[in-house]
Amino acid sequence: MALVVQKYGGTSVGTVEKIRNVARRVARTFDEGNEVVVIVSAMAGETNRLVALADEISEFPSEREYDVLVSTGEQVTISLLSMCLQSMGYKAKSYLGSQIPVLTDSAHSRARIKSIDDKKIREDLQSGTILIVAGFQGIDPAGNITTLGRGGSDTSAVAVAAALKADVCEIYTDVDGVYTTDPRMVPDASKIEKISYEEMLEMASLGAKVLQIRSVEFAKKYNVVIHVRSSFSDKPGTLVMKEDRDMETVLVSGIAYNKDEAKISILGVPDQPGIAAQIFSPLGNAGITVDMIIQNVSQDGKTDMTFTVPKADCKKALKIVEVIAPKINASGIKHDGDIAKVSIIGVGMRSHSGIAQTMFETLAKEGINIEMISTSEIKVSCVVAAKYTELAVRVLHEAFGLNKLESGE
């Protein structure tokens, strides 16, 4: 007998009929002799409906009240799924975040889970009850309802799995696992059987949006095995877990890309201590996340400073930079929103050399100019012109042997 935590997202519970499908799958897992705790999101469309009401009422709705509002979405789903299981003859019981409780900090709409009390859940499990828990929500020490931010149900599921020391946390979604790259771009992309937390974090942050980043961080911290799989099939999906020996034999696990960044260059910056802080502190204070930063070798005591920011923040960043540039005697500013970041990811890189080189050569062979490079222990990222994104991903996918045939599927 295993303790299985399952999480179903909004599209999996989007209609009454889909909720019935979820109930059947939950029931089957229970019938196979497992203890089952289910975390659900709001029915697809429901959160948007609620947010639209808030927007209609107020331009800047209070975050506390916003959380009171949107948390009703999951509350509806847990009750409906519980009713459905009961009508099938199972013992089922719903839990709100506040009833468990899932204790969070007080950062409304982006709260972080601090602790989960497993007492009530364990008692109910022992009585043969299937538990249905509202994802995405918690309660702060003062008793206010909090939410974890969009996609927070993944984090709820992993956190509940961690608190219960569950054998596995199954995240059901509309894809059947994590792929070596975006299958819409590369039809030959193959499903990854096992991937380490670190690799998954790089994949997720670089644009492969299967799992919420924070849920992977949480899983890594508490060593929760995540099984990403499809709610429409029974095939096994992808296990996200602690790095093991097998993984190291794979040089590159996946190719990620991100078209949501823009590049800003400050030209002719005097190369002297403190300049970087003068540039990046105001950006940080304005809440702008700077991703890659490149500083060229200085010539005549001057250097060019290039960095990327989320495209949505580009205008805001430029305004700030335009104020700073004259103060630091920079000679000019350039920016380019037409870029893409393409990355190869793999824990195998740690123990193998020449991987970055293969990447550069592969891109060069296709005439793709590399505008920026950044590397970490388990990834190499290159910024290229946006128009080359598909080509770059496809040739890298092939160059590192990730196509279906070679992966044996």
Q: Which stretch binds its own copies (CB under 8 A): 79-87, 161-169, 203-211, 333-341?
A: 79-87
Shortest Å distance, C-beta 8 to its own copies: 15
Applying the rule CB under 8 A, the residues between 96 and 155 that interact with its own copies are: 96, 98-99, 143-145
Q: Which stretch binds its own copies (CB under 8 A): 95-103, 108-116, 323-331, 370-378?
A: 95-103
b/e string for 239-261 if b means 16 or more Cβ within 10 A? bbbebeeebbebbbbbbbbbeeb
Shortest Å distance, C-beta 75 to its own copies: 5
408 contacts its own copies (rule: CB under 8 A) = no
72 contacts its own copies (rule: CB under 8 A) = yes
Cα 386 to Cα 16, 126, 339, 340, 379: the distances in Å are: 41, 55, 4, 5, 20
Shortest Å distance, C-beta 54 to its own copies: 6
* 130: enclosing H helix or E strand: strand 130-134
| Residue number with CB closer to its own copies (73 or 346) | 73
| Residue number with CB closer to its own copies (42 or 324) | 42
Helical H segments across 100-240, by residue range: 119-126, 152-164, 197-205, 213-222
Q: Which of 36, 69, 160, 251 is the binder for its own copies (CB under 8 A)?
A: 69
Applying the rule CB under 8 A, the residues between 19 and 58 that interact with its own copies are: 19-20, 50, 53-54, 56-58
| Residue number with CB closer to its own copies (50 or 267) | 50
Q: Provide CB contacts within 8 A for 72, sequence distance 6+.
A: 50
| Residue number with CB closer to its own copies (87 or 278) | 87
Long-range CB contact pairs, 65-68, < 8 A, 24+: 66/108, 66/109, 66/147, 67/108, 67/109, 67/137, 67/144, 67/145, 67/146, 67/147, 68/145
Q: Which of 4, 35, 38, 66 is the binder for its own copies (CB under 8 A)?
A: 66
Shortest Å distance, C-beta 29 to its own copies: 20
| Residue number with CB closer to its own copies (24 or 352) | 24
82 contacts its own copies (rule: CB under 8 A) = yes
b/e string for 1-28 if b means 16 or more Cβ within 10 A? eebbbbbbbbbbbbeeebbbbbbebbbe
Give rounded-to-5 percent helix, strand, coil for the chain.
Answer: 40, 25, 35
> CA-CA distance, 329 to 268, in Å (whole number)?
8
| Number of chain residues interacting with its own copies (CB under 8 A) | 38
| Residue number with CB closer to its own copies (93 or 229) | 93
Angle made by CA atoms 21, 25, 31, in degrees to the nearest 5: 140
Binding site for its own copies (CB under 8 A): 16, 19-20, 50, 53-54, 56-62, 64-66, 68-69, 71-72, 75-76, 78-80, 82-84, 86-87, 93-94, 96, 98-99, 143-145
